[in-house]
Structure 1
Amino acid sequence: MTREEREEKWFSNISGAESISIESKIEICDKAAKRMMIIILGLLTLEFILLFVVGGEIFTRVADFLNRISEGGHTGNHSQGLALTGIIVFLPVFIIPLTAAFSYKNNYLKAELAKIVTSRENTAGKESALPSFTKESESDILHFDTLNFKLAIIQVLMYDLHLLKPEFDIYAFADQYKGKNIDTDSDAIIEPAMNFFKEMEIPKNFAPYVEMLYMDGGNDVYMNIIPQWDGEDDSFDLNEITLEELQQFPNLKKANLMSSDFDKVKEVFEAANIAVEPL
């Protein structure tokens, strides 16, 4: 079965599947198949461990039984019968893992479909009453020398205060992206997403709304750039900052930072009269 045939079969009974692209469905099926395999192998391993702990002699009895019925004949029919008997004997062991895996598959497909559709509707339905990012003159937009500082500001304005609209969603973005297929399970930076934030122009009239920064590994802005980021590396650490950047935000009074060079950036924040602590 090809990936396209699998996609068609798996989504055949799922309502609304026609609203997303074939590429998105294939990607979802690939992820589901991997997770199903993990479930099956995991449950099989657990079952065999339990069987061994509860009664290891079960394996010996099964082996003896199969050996007895295998004696006395080497014809094709006898071999087929032996194979069928083996399948019947071990079938109960596979029922639970297979049932669990296929049940998970259906729920996963529906959940991923709903996630994409909802994100698309939310993105399409949001009409910003704010100035366009791209139509502001240079003097009316905020200037950033440090990308990670800009991302921290975007977290506040877009995801905390919901002022920057529409909110960027990696799943909707990946579904509509015309370039190379985007892996939304990535544990590395998704460059098209990062470029989106790099190129975003933020009007200066948003600056007064920023009163506090709280950089955390689970922040939405980071999850939309590295969806599977564990927060353990320094991808988004704020190790550089300029006083000019900070002085654009007159009401910023407190910041909790992710930084591997905290003492260095602390000096700049304190020079701007901003209380700062390491995360």
Structure 2
Amino acid sequence: MTGFSDFNFKLLVVEKLMYWDETLKPAFDLRAHMRARGVQDLDAYVAANGLEYTVLPEARAHFEELEIPAELLATVDELTFDGGHQVFQECAPVWDGEDDLFDLHSLEDLHLLPNLKLFTGADALEYMLPGALDTLAAHGIASR
């Protein structure tokens, strides 16, 4: 089992593999997941439980437990940080992007991606983690 130390870093990897490359299957669909648990109106559920600005516990559990084989991790050559990622909407369906909910907290997981060559969203990354661009460069990863 490959363990990630930063949940939000893992979400970037999931975005790439599950929603862009479609190699990590099945794609997680929070609305379908919640309907299967009897929640027909996800927005009402979120509001009634005060979950507007958080990762829903059901989504967090799914993605925390999700195992990503090393073979798939080795296919990741580019990561992108963008507030519009599908995985963010699957975690927090009414998130508006106006807070730090999905900010990265560390780059300790870079070693899990041996073929990572490019990180897009460098301005946001440097804001989240001052010195991050130097860390990427030290690992031979370009940024833009």
Normalized against structure 1, the TM-score is what?
0.44
Partner of 1:97: none
2:6 and 2:105 in contact (8 A); partners too: no
Find the residue that maps to 2:91 and give its secondary structure: coil
- The AA in structure 2 aligned to 1:168 is F
Which of 110, 113, 117 is residue 246 of structure 1 equivalent to?
110
Deviation at residue 145 of structure 1 after TM alignment:
0.9
Q: Which has the larger radius of gyration?
A: 1
Deviations 1:215-250 (A, max 9, x none): 1111110000111211111100113121xx212222
Deviation at residue 256 of structure 1 after TM alignment:
2.2
- The AA in structure 2 aligned to 1:219 is H
- The AA in structure 2 aligned to 1:184 is L
Deviation at residue 177 of structure 1 after TM alignment:
2.2
Partner of 1:142: 2
Partner of 1:270: 137
Q: Please list every run of at least 4 consecutive aligned residues from structure 1 whose deviation after the TM superposition is greater than 4 angstroms.
A: none
Partner of 1:218: 84
Structure 1 gaps of 5+ residues are 1-140
In structure 2, C-alpha distance between the alignment counterparts of 1:182 and 1:247, rounded to whole Å: 40
Q: Cα–Cα, structure 1 residues 211 and 218, in superposed 2: closer, same or farther, change >3 Å?
A: same
1:182 and 1:190 in contact (8 A); partners too: no
Between the aligned residues of both structures, percent identity stands at 35
Partner of 1:55: none
Deviations 1:89-125 (A, max 9, x none): xxxxxxxxxxxxxxxxxxxxxxxxxxxxxxxxxxxxx
In structure 2, C-alpha distance between the alignment counterparts of 1:182 and 1:234, rounded to whole Å: 28
Partner of 2:23: 163
Deviations 1:171-215 (A, max 9, x none): 11011126xx48622433211111110111111010221111111
Say whether 1:184 aligns with 2:42. yes
- The AA in structure 2 aligned to 1:207 is L
Deviation at residue 262 of structure 1 after TM alignment:
3.4
Q: Across the two proteins, how many residue pairs are aligned to each other?
A: 133
Find the residue that maps to 2:74 and give its secondary structure: helix
Deviation at residue 265 of structure 1 after TM alignment:
2.5
> 1:7-46, aligned counterparts within 5 Å?
none
Deviation at residue 268 of structure 1 after TM alignment:
2.4
RMSD: 1.9
Which of 63, 83, 95 is residue 229 of structure 1 equivalent to?
95
Q: Cα–Cα, structure 1 residues 171 and 264, in superposed 2: closer, same or farther, change >3 Å?
A: same
Normalized against structure 2, the TM-score is what?
0.82
1:214 and 1:256 in contact (8 A); partners too: yes
In structure 2, C-alpha distance between the alignment counterparts of 1:201 and 1:194, rounded to whole Å: 13
- The AA in structure 2 aligned to 1:235 is L
- The AA in structure 1 aligned to 2:15 is Q
Q: Cα–Cα, structure 1 residues 191 and 182, in superposed 2: closer, same or farther, change >3 Å?
A: farther
1:255 and 1:274 in contact (8 A); partners too: yes
> 1:98-117, aligned counterparts within 5 Å?
none
Partner of 2:49: none
Say whether 1:153 aligns with 2:2. no
Partner of 1:261: 128
